[in-house]
Structure 1
Amino acid sequence: MTAPNTPTGPGAEPAAPHDPFAPPPPPAPRERPKRALLPELRIGALITVAGALLGVVLGLLWLWLAPRVGLVVKGEQLLYADPEGEQRAGADSVFALLGLGAGVVTALAAFLLTRSRGGGIAVAVGLALGGLAGSVIAWQLGTRLGPTSDLVAHARQAGDGGRFSAPLELGAHGALLVWPMTAMVLLLVLSAAFGKREEDPPPYWASPQPWADHPQDGHHPTD
């Protein structure tokens, strides 16, 4: 009769005896599931396109809300109607504030729509590219739909003593970065505070101990 757990056959080696007091093996590290490339690219592209479309709305709002710079014709000269006015700085400020609001809206919408899937780098890249594209579109749309940039023709049409509005311009081009930077910072804050969390592995002391399954003489090994 063959003893239990006895290897048979030529060249077989006897199995090592089980040590009930040996520490349990460390848990195998869990690998994060890899995201498919195509869905990531699709999400980033959709967020970018949405930002570009929102840039049209931003440009129309800027055209409507930005203060106008008044010009007056005096003989052969063009003079500011209000030399000490802050209309030029006001146009830049309005654009920056609109970009700030657009960054908050796009970041919040992107976070809420992608929170269940854990966000991803595509969301951040889409927000940055979409915000930059939307800012450029808003800038170009506002300047093209605003008053004409041909001041000479406009002055001749207005005549001596006539008044008209100067072209809508963005003096501080750094305002183009307000939207994408706001969106990126807010997305980072939202992800850190309310983002999807991965389950932590249980601590090593929570693993079942071998002496719990193989008691010997009713004594704990530390006794």
Structure 2
Amino acid sequence: MTAPLTPPPPPHDNSPHQAWQASPPAGSPGAGTYGQDGPGMKTEVREAAVITVAMTVCGLLLGLLWWWLAPHVPLVGDASGGGWVVYLKDSEGEQAAGVDGTFTLLGLGLGLVSAVVVFLLRRRGGVPLVVALGLGGLLGSVVAWRLGVWLGPTSDVLAHARAVGKGVTFPAPLKLSAKGALLAWPLAAVLVHLGLTALFGPRDPEQQ
């Protein structure tokens, strides 16, 4: 009596040739693109650069809104003492604080919008995107600040007072007294994006 014949198990080919075929070579269409583990570092850096430039350009919008919405600080010129003197028309007014507050609120609003847009475009997040939000928001705030000052009234208040005449009210130059307002946009963008990523971003399999 003989034992039944069973076919031998298929051989396991662990040759280097098979391993080389398992992953696409560098430079192929599948390399450096989005996959199960997200984009490659080059793709993330490229996206971060685009976001930084876009937010810097959006600083022009912030500057226009600040120039349009910020309250005017009234000044008055007086030449009774032989020379021109410029002083605040309302020494107890809060217009100067309103100028800084307007810039801060606009920066917070743009930070919220930019964070939501970036999150919707790239839900996975990543360090380069967070850095881009912070750097782009800061550069955009600086652009907005300088544009608003340039669009606002002249900084030569004595010449302005002479031009309008004695006792005539005229607006003060648009300036940002609290430079910390420049951080409103980048901080809001980074914090909101991190919060959205933590709450609604994709989870790794071991974290589900």
TM-score, reference length from structure 1: 0.72
Matches within 5 A, 1:22-33: 33=37
**Partner of residue 91, structure 1:** 99
**Partner of residue 72, structure 1:** 76
Query: Residues 85 and 158 of structure 2 are in contact (CA less than 8 Å); yes or no, is this contact kept in structure 1?
Result: no
C-alpha deviations, 1:175-210, integer Å up to 9, x for none? 1001111111111111110001111299xxxxxxxx
Distance 1:194 1:156, change over 3 A: same
**Partner of residue 169, structure 2:** 163
Q: CA RMSD in A?
A: 2.0
Amino acid at match of 1:162: V
The alpha-carbon deviation at position 155 of structure 1 amounts to 1.3
Q: Report SS of the residue matched to 1:48.
A: helix
The alpha-carbon deviation at position 53 of structure 1 amounts to 1.3
Q: Identity across aligned pairs (percent)? A: 51
The alpha-carbon deviation at position 37 of structure 1 amounts to 2.9
The alpha-carbon deviation at position 36 of structure 1 amounts to 2.5
Amino acid at match of 2:73: V
Q: Provide the rounded CA distance (Å) in 1 between the counterparts of 2:102 and 2:130.
A: 25
**Partner of residue 147, structure 2:** 141
Give ranges in structure 2 of 5+ residues lacking alignment: 1-35
Q: Which has the larger radius of gyration?
A: 1
Query: Residues 86 and 158 of structure 2 are in contact (CA less than 8 Å); yes or no, is this contact kept in structure 1?
Result: no
The alpha-carbon deviation at position 120 of structure 1 amounts to 1.2
1:61 and 2:69 aligned: no
Residues paired across the two proteins, number: 171
TM-score, reference length from structure 2: 0.78
Q: Provide the rounded CA distance (Å) in 2 between the counterparts of 1:201 and 1:184.
A: 23
Q: Provide the rounded CA distance (Å) in 1 between the counterparts of 2:171 and 2:207.
A: 66
**Partner of residue 23, structure 1:** none
Q: Provide the rounded CA distance (Å) in 1 between the counterparts of 2:177 and 2:189.
A: 23
The alpha-carbon deviation at position 50 of structure 1 amounts to 1.2
Give ranges in structure 1 of 5+ residues lacking alignment: 1-31, 203-223
4+ residue segments displaced more than 3 Å: 32-35
Q: Provide the rounded CA distance (Å) in 2 between the counterparts of 1:129 and 1:79.
A: 38
Q: Provide the rounded CA distance (Å) in 2 between the counterparts of 1:146 and 1:65.
A: 11
Distance 1:48 1:155, change over 3 A: same
C-alpha deviations, 1:129-166, integer Å up to 9, x for none? 11001100000000011000011211111121222111
**Partner of residue 45, structure 1:** 49
**Partner of residue 32, structure 2:** none
